[in-house]
Structures are given as C-alpha cells and as structure tokens.
Structure 1
C-alpha cells in the first residue's frame, strides 16, 4: 500500500500533443476494442457520448502513466477505484473520472493486454488508492514511437477553482466541498482562465542544468488553480499548479527563461502585515513592520518575528510556546507571551486581529492582488509567473512589472507597499 505523503495522484487532464504520443494511445485503444470483441463484452458499438468518455479515460490513464515513466517519478502514481468518488455527479469532474474507470484499469492490466500493472489498496481515508505503473510492453511501445516528455500536454482544466471546508485541526487538510455556480464563481473562473490562456501560449523554457538533482521538468504544466478555504470564496485562493512553483528559488532564477530571456523574481515586502492593516482600515505606522521595539535589532530575530506574526494569523487565541521553527530565531530569554506583547504594543491598531484565524482572509486579498496584477501585465503584453507573493518576469520588464505590482496593491488595499528584486 502506498503512503499518502509520497503519493502522486492521477492527473486526468494529460493528453497526447504529437503524432508520436497519439500513436501509442491509438494502439492501446485499438487493443481494448479488440479485447472487448474477442470476449464478447460488448454487443454493439458505443454511442458517440460514451465513445468520447471511453477514449478520454484511456487517453488520460495512458498519458499519465507515460508521464510518470518519462519523468522517472519516484513517488507512487495512485488512482482511485472508489465507485462512491467516481460515480458522483460533479459538473467540474473530468470525463475520465467515471464509474467505468476501474473496469478499464482491469482491461489494461489484464494478462492478455498487459499495458499497466495495478497494486490495489485497501479502503482508506481518501478512498481506495491503487498504484499503477507501465509495463515493459508499454515502455517498448513508447520507445518504438520515440515518445518524449514534450509529446505530452494537458487539456484545459475545468476545475481551476475549488472550495474546501474549514479544517478541524492541523492534521486535517480540509474536505472538498461541492458548490453551485454563481456570478462570483463565474468571475473567479473567467479571470483565472484568461491568465491560464496567456501563460499557456507563452514562450517559457527551463534549462535542467540548473537543477541540483537530476529530474525532468514538464514545462507544459502551466494551468494555475485556486483553492478557497473555510467554506468561503473570500478565504484562501492562492495561485498554485504551475511547474515553476515546485522548483527551488535559486534553480528557478538560474534555469527559467521567458521569451528566451533570463528572469528576475520581484517580491512584495511585508505583504501579510500590510494586508492586515488594510483589513483593519488603518495605515501602517512605519516602513519596517517587523522591527519591534523591545526586541533586539538582530537579523535572525527579525525573521523570527516575521514567522511568529504570520503564525498568529492562523490560530485561534494565543500560544503558550514558541511556534515550530522559531525557537532559534527569537531571543532565548523571552517567552512567546512576552514577544507577542511587544508585537501588539508596536501595532495597537491591529493587535485585536492576531489570534483570530484571519490568515485565510489575508491569503484571499493577496491572491486577488496577484490575479489583478497578472491581468494588467497581460494587457501590457508582459508574461509573468506567480509564486505566492512574488512574480517571475523577464529582466527587461523589471521596472514596469514593479510599478504595476505596487499600483495594483495600492488600488486594492489602499495601503502602500514596496517590492524588491
């Protein structure tokens, strides 16, 4: 059985982009049709709608297995066979996520066809998780058609926005919630789709020599998603999903190119505290909000204050001990209660918001700023890639992007901010 933390879950949106990968898919689909005919499984041809679902399902499985093979993915590729999950109605669910998927997996892994292997798992918290892998037969077919990573792509993702319930504790990841379409959700989807279309058509490259550890990077993985939290479309919503987000910062700056040009990372400064002041309807009192009177002016203590501040926005009430990872970054002779008192004394206008789980609201405002900045840059013909509260952009566009980031933040929050590259 696979371990949840090490799993790489099935991505149903993968497709073949070139004749090479499509030839593999066509061969596999043809073998299943012959298998069904040979065993008298079907007595009549599928209707057009059912045929599309069948082909989409086989395409998704084979393309995702090929992707795992080409990227030499170390994690297990897992897929759900749960009829409760696959059979439910969901307008944003992919065609491949249907009640017939387990049957097709059995066809593909049968001794006769032998395209994939399955290791079926017991029912767990996230439903049945089955590990799938390519067989030597599929690997040989890929080699015959010289399939490479660039031969695979991703179809447009319909569920680019999702909603999760509030977490019960720090171990709870938040249950996904079905939601009704409203003008608000349609607007959120439309704005993000425009950004995805722009980034999807951009000239973005990555030199894998920049990586410290050998692995293949799928530069076609560009579809951004937003996951909203606490059961509200005004909480969370940070942009995620792009291939560049999972690459270390130094490797990003070294290996990424946009329009053939080296890139620069432009970061918002102290964006969390400044949004907090905006939510309180107040203006920040100073340039550096992490410089707290009463706590020694030491670079590592400033980093400890920053981590403590951010953690305070994701808990209810006050902690009794220093947050994880901050013990060595804070004065050893001060308790967390004393440190928080100094923070509150330095920022009386927002002290009442600390310890109120307002961090999800802060993330929403941050994500709205990023979406608006990306749309403004799109209108200027400038490609930028978001990484939480920073943008990766061509070096030649640094000044213009910086100005747009500053203006966008001010327009949305009514608070000034600086950026740094």
Structure 2
C-alpha cells in the first residue's frame, strides 16, 4: 500500500501541510488546550451535536485531534503568521489506515474543524477547499483564529512550547524508484526484530537530542527564516522497498540551515558547532566492500577533469546508483562541465581511473552503499552519545561542540574502519 509521508517544514513558503504530530511541551499550552476542549464540549452540549457520549477510545482520539490542530496552528502562527496550513477533509483519505498517519486522521476530523472554526468559538479560521471541475482545485486551509491568537499572546507562548509526538513513525520505507530522480511512495510493512531494533535506536537518539542544549542565533538566519530549535525529530528513510537500502537520517532544524548559517549561528552546549564530514564516503565504502584499496587520495579528482571535481563526484555516484549505463548527464550536472564534454567521455574517464569498481558500476549498488553509510552514522551517534557528546547528523557528516572535535574525529574514524576495513577521510569545517 502506498501512502504519502507528510512533508518536512523545509521551505520558506508561508503555506505548508498540516503536521498532525504537534503536541504541547509546556504547562501553558496544556492549559490552553484544556480550555479549548471545555469550550468545544459546551458548544456540543448547547447545540446538541451528540446524541450519545463518545466511547473512551473515541474520546481519546477526539482530544488528540483538537490538541494537534491547536498546537500546529500555534506553531504556524509563531513561525509564519501570514501563512496557512492546508489539510484534507476527504473521507476517503481520512479513512485510510497507515503506520505513517496518526489516529486523528479519521472521518470525524472535518466535524472537529468545523466546531473549532464556528463563529461562537473562533479558535480556527478555515477556508474550505473545492474540486476544480473547470479549473484548479483548492485544498482546505487553516490558520489560527482570533481567540486562539489572543490566548497565544496573553500566555506569551513561544515555539519552544510546542513539541513533536514520540508516536510518529521514525522507520520509513520507500518504494522502488521509477528513475534516479524519483523518490518513491511510502510503503506499509510488517515489523520484524530488525525494524523494531532500528526504531529503538531512533527513539534513544531522539530522546537524547530532545534534552540537548541546542541554540541558534537568529541574527544569522536567512531573510524571512524562523529557526525552530525544538524541531529535533529524526527519521530513517529506507529506499527501494528494502531495509538494506538507503536508511539515511532526515529531520532536525539544523539540516534545514545552510552551512554558513550553521557555522555562524548554531551552538551546542553553548559552544560553536564544528562540522566533521566523511570525505568520499560512497566510493571508499565501495572499495571496502570489494576489500581493496582506493587507488588515489581523492576519488573525485579524475585525470583530465581535475577542474571539474564537483561534476565528476555526481557522475561517479550516479554510476553506482544506476542500473544501466548513463546516456545523459544526471540532473543538474551539465553545468559542472564544459559544453564540449559528453557523458560518454566523462564516464570513460571515471571507468579508467576506477577500474577496480568496474564490476559495481550500473548495478544499483549505490543503495546498499548508502545503507552502509547510514549504519556508520547511526553507530557514530550512539557511540558519541555513550560519551555524553551531542552530535547532530547531516547525511555523511555530524555537528559537534568545538570541545568534542577530537573525540568526534576518533570515533568517526574508528567506526568507519570497523564497518568497511578502510581508513576514513574526514574533513573539519569550522
């Protein structure tokens, strides 16, 4: 079964998808939600909207739904007050069960939204969507209503008063991709000891990050960007319908920052953050898989193309991920080369320089190599956590406090060699 995974809040557009996983993270918000629930209860009684009392399980779901809507609209109002949250009211979509969707996505949700948006309550401002029979369709959008805004202001609620639920699925499985640039739909799966173990790891890491001393100086945020340092939930996303493919960590506000923003504005335990980056991770892991040695210091410095390193890096990695020979430049790579350079010329140069990897090219092995990289990164985070060090992952790199740089380098090198048998190459970006 295919489902859509809610998008991360990664862009700067005012409108975004509803995030059903928001929860209160302060007594002020908990009290506000109780106030809203009491008023909803009085509204239902006044207008006799219910003939019988909800079952206990339904009542719990109802209260979670109200809480999630209120929390997400508080977050949106504080983060992008001019924007809106779009949400589905489709009974077909709301009736679909999935491990990636919370129980609040039920057919009762539209009625809850209507009550919250009623003139008597005004906690939500709702603009109903419509089918575009003679033009584009419009999704239902929400934003904080005037009574919710007044309560946000009177209680001086900030972004740190809103958290993310631990019930959110952190082990995600994508379907096989149709092309190198297709992400693949999310797949349902049955849990095994392996997936349960991965989830336990993520739960431990996320709890560690949740209590970490992280701060960002908004002075260094890009124009119009609001950095929510409470957004720390990480997920592992596996690919190609296999738990032996992909597995990289996604999420966390630091992944949405530019390198310059992280360098200047991010602090861990009150210290400047330092980025430790595995160099040439994919080809080095590939050579380790073949139990052979990388024949050059820089895997991406290809003879005859030394001034086109960035392009060669992308093409070499594409050759490892592709399941058939490349007949054109990968997406976005053409600009890295001169007009006269053809894909066949570039590929031939890479094949000559990396003759030892010939048996791996065009086999799709890149997905397995990325899985091995993700296992390395998780192991690095767990080992540093055991040393009391907060490390923030960015694919094949981590951010650590300045004082933990040397320890971070030692752990990263040890873990890389444990997994691959190859000496790592780690760069320090301060």
Matched, 1:104 2:92: no
User: Alpha-carbon deviation of 1:188?
Assistant: 0.8
Q: Distance in 1 between matches of 2:281 and 2:139?
A: 39
Q: Distance in 1 between matches of 2:131 and 2:344?
A: 44
Q: 1:313, 1:359 within 8 Å by CA — same for their partners in 2? A: yes
Q: Distance in 2 between matches of 1:40 and 1:414?
A: 70
Q: Which runs of 5+ in 2 are unaligned?
A: 1-6
**1:267 equivalent in structure 2:** 277
Alignment of 1:41-56 (within 5 A): 41-56=49-64
User: Alpha-carbon deviation of 1:171?
Assistant: 6.5
Alignment of 1:6-405 (within 5 A): 8-72=16-80, 76-91=84-99, 93-122=101-130, 129-169=139-179, 172-293=182-303, 295-298=304-307, 301-405=308-412
**2:419 equivalent in structure 1:** 412
User: Alpha-carbon deviation of 1:155?
Assistant: 2.2
Closer, same or farther: CA 233–50 of 1 in aligned 2, 3 Å: same
User: Alpha-carbon deviation of 1:273?
Assistant: 1.0
Q: 1:23, 1:145 within 8 Å by CA — same for their partners in 2? A: no
The C-alpha deviation readout for 1:241-280, integer Å capped at 9, x for no partner, is 1111101111112111111111100000100111222333
Closer, same or farther: CA 48–162 of 1 in aligned 2, 3 Å: same
**2:4 equivalent in structure 1:** none
Name the SS for the 1:352 alignment partner. coil
Closer, same or farther: CA 121–277 of 1 in aligned 2, 3 Å: farther
Q: Distance in 2 between matches of 1:317 and 1:123?
A: 41
- Superposition TM-score, scaled by structure 1 size: 0.91
Q: Distance in 1 between matches of 2:423 and 2:280?
A: 11
Q: 1:238, 1:363 within 8 Å by CA — same for their partners in 2? A: yes
User: Alpha-carbon deviation of 1:73?
Assistant: 6.0
- Superposition TM-score, scaled by structure 2 size: 0.90
Q: 1:82, 1:128 within 8 Å by CA — same for their partners in 2? A: no
User: Between Structure 1 and Structure 2, how many residues are aligned?
Assistant: 413
Closer, same or farther: CA 8–349 of 1 in aligned 2, 3 Å: same
Q: Distance in 1 between matches of 2:98 and 2:222?
A: 41
The C-alpha deviation readout for 1:206-249, integer Å capped at 9, x for no partner, is 11111131432211111110111111111111101111110111
Q: Which runs of 5+ in 1 are unaligned?
A: none
Name the SS for the 2:311 alignment partner. helix
User: Alpha-carbon deviation of 1:170?
Assistant: 5.8
User: Alpha-carbon deviation of 1:198?
Assistant: 1.0
Q: Distance in 1 between matches of 2:180 and 2:115?
A: 40
Q: Distance in 2 between matches of 1:348 and 1:106?
A: 64
Q: Distance in 1 between matches of 2:100 and 2:331?
A: 37
Closer, same or farther: CA 61–350 of 1 in aligned 2, 3 Å: same
Closer, same or farther: CA 415–255 of 1 in aligned 2, 3 Å: same
Q: 2:159, 2:228 within 8 Å by CA — same for their partners in 1? A: yes
Closer, same or farther: CA 117–173 of 1 in aligned 2, 3 Å: farther
The C-alpha deviation readout for 1:267-294, integer Å capped at 9, x for no partner, is 001001112223334332222111222x
Q: Distance in 2 between matches of 1:338 and 1:91?
A: 46
Closer, same or farther: CA 121–235 of 1 in aligned 2, 3 Å: farther
Superposition CA RMSD, Å: 2.3
